Amino acid sequence: MELQKKKLTRCELFYGGPSRLEIVLFGLAAAFCWLAFAHPDIQETARHGYILIRSTLDGNFFGFFEDTFYRTYGYGYVNAAHYNILMYILYALWELPLYIIEQIGGFAFSDVFLSMWCKAIGVGFYLGCGLLCGRLAQQIGCSKEASAWAPLLFWLNPISFFSTLVMGQYDSIALLFLLWALTAYFDKKYLRFSLLMGVGMVFKFFPLFVFVPLILLVEKRFLHIVKYLAVSMWLYIPTTLLFAGRTGDAAFFNQLMTDRLFASTFAGGAMDYSAFGFMMVLICAAAFFLRPADTAQWQRWSLYLGLAAFTALFTFVLWHPQWLIMLVPFLLLTTLQQSRPMGFAYIELAFYIGFFVMMAMLYPRALEGNLFDMGVFQPLVGISFSGADAVQHNAFYFQLIPYMKQIVPILFYGGLLSGLLFKLPMGNSTAAERLGGNGTEKVSWRVWSWGTFAVAFGGFWAVPSLFSYLKVTGLL
């Protein structure tokens, strides 16, 4: 009896769904990072929400973008407003209670307080994305255990956790509508799918790269394709036309972002052509020609096309770290579909390590211990990381490892493209399943989620950032 009890305890330790303790531990880690760190973007967006309130109350709603560009109301932010007006309406409504309190009390909330308050929007949508990952896992027929772990696998994913809870970014808003749209798509409610994708595209244009291939996968008639494309623009077109000719520098900034899609090129016989654009043409053509034999094949191809689109984006386009949260659900769900997924644990871990080290090298002095300078604890400590002299940033430590600069892109792109190659649907299986033969693997999603988080996020961002900060404070 004692031996059986030990075996049961060990089984429960590695297998089964998430425990309450794990949810509590995640909540504590999330709350700490929420309060301790912030990127300047969230401070700027918080102030933009305030400016929209003031512009509206002054009867100059349509002058909002120009007010941010010319700093009509002051504030020490750097960038003008660049997103669709609905983004700023969302933030303005969220901040309106604070603005009213300020007017009644005759005081002003600090930038740090506003940043923490506005981080709640991105965090709320991020939590919703995790729940939708769980729902999608059930829709595509994943096991009960895998479906139960899907939310925490998304929340503890090193990229989604870092971009939302540490940086305070808000790409999770667009992602939530994309995932919500996918639930409609798998229910074969394509009009609702198009409407929800249209909401996501208002907040970031990334859902467009998934929307087009998925429509082409299920619809082959030209006029019906045009119909769904037109429906997806139901919100973007009118909100954009409202501010035509009075966008400050938003139009210029968005043009710069769009130009990135065409910056990486292949050498053509007569003219060079966009690498990402070329890959999207291939993806869309494949989607149009595909005729899945059954629901299982259709679901596999649907998620794979999304994975392919975002893999192409982050392979050929200069990315911002927070953008990669869009890739996470497609990595997660296509892995949960595998009958033999363990190989992808190592492939994805290599990708996440490559992400953090590449990020440190691409954006030095931007995404390290200095994020602590905008959190609530920095005033208590009284020492600024970003203002310290001779700070050794994370890239410095990584470059002490021989050939690290050469190895890291291989980890990132190798991990990214290996997933795409070995998850290629082949009938009712994938390339990885064909190579692995028949049978299934017993997987500890507990070890997978916490282990990946600890090694990638902890070992390649938190520990070196903490080490640098302790050196700045003189404790090391």
pLDDT in tens, the chain (476 residues): 344 444 445 555 666 789 999 999 999 999 999 999 999 999 999 999 999 999 999 999 999 999 998 888 877 766 889 999 999 999 999 999 999 999 999 999 999 999 999 999 999 999 999 999 999 999 999 999 999 999 999 999 999 999 999 999 999 999 999 999 999 999 999 999 999 999 999 999 999 999 999 999 999 999 999 999 999 999 999 999 999 888 888 888 888 888 999 999 999 999 999 999 999 999 999 999 999 999 999 999 999 999 999 999 999 999 999 999 999 999 999 999 999 999 999 999 999 999 999 999 999 878 888 899 899 998 888 877 776 666 778 888 888 889 999 999 999 999 999 999 999 999 888 999 999 877 778 889 999 999 999 999 999 999 999 888 888 777 77
What's the pLDDT score for residue 122? 97
What's the pLDDT score for residue 78? 65
> Nearest-CA neighbor of 125 among 318, 308, 325, 281?
325
Decide if 150 contacts 328 (C-beta within 8 A): no
Asked if residue 206 is part of any domain, the answer here is: yes
Asked if residue 395 is part of any domain, the answer here is: yes
What's the pLDDT score for residue 14? 66
Asked if residue 461 is part of any domain, the answer here is: yes
Asked if residue 134 is part of any domain, the answer here is: yes
Asked if residue 289 is part of any domain, the answer here is: yes
C-alpha dist (Å) from residue 238 to 59, 84, 198: 20, 11, 12
The DSSP H or E segment spanning 430 is: strand 429-430
d(CA 127, CA 154): 9
Asked if residue 5 is part of any domain, the answer here is: no
Domain count, the chain: 1
What's the pLDDT score for residue 6? 46
Asked if residue 393 is part of any domain, the answer here is: yes
User: Domain range for residue 377?
Assistant: 16-469
d(CA 141, CA 218): 20
> Nearest-CA neighbor of 369 among 476, 278, 442, 450?
476
What's the pLDDT score for residue 389? 62
- Scanning 377-452, the segments in alpha helix (DSSP H) are 378-381, 394-398, 404-422, 431-436, 445-452
What's the pLDDT score for residue 387? 67
What's the pLDDT score for residue 53? 96
What's the pLDDT score for residue 69? 87
pTM for the whole structure:
0.94
Asked if residue 7 is part of any domain, the answer here is: no
